[in-house]
Amino acid sequence: MKVMIEEGCIACGLCTATCPEVFAFGDDGLACVIASVEKENENEVKTAAENCPVSVIEYEE
């Protein structure tokens, strides 16, 4: 699975709390992808993408 964060993050912290193995806040204060998605994290990444309040997390299976 590939995941990316488009422009528009409002730094709510949902994705970093849901899957800290993949998402973290960068120096700019916005969420970024810090690691490739391992199998065991795929469901958490999908959950984060579905619940991001501004729908900026995109993923490909």
* Residues of this chain that bind ligand SF4 (CB under 6 A): 5, 9-15, 31, 48, 52-54, 56-57
Q: How far is the CB of 2 from ligand SF4 (least distance, A)?
A: 15
**CA 54, 2, 34, 49: dihedral to nearest 10 degrees?**
20
Measured distance CA(36)–CA(29) in Å, rounded: 20
Residue 28: CB minimum distance to ligand SF4, A: 11
- Residue among 11 and 34 whose Cβ is closer to ligand SF4: 11
**Residue bearing tokens 């709510």:** 12
Cβ proximity to ligand SF4: between 36 and 55 the closer is: 55
* 13: its two tokens: 């912290």
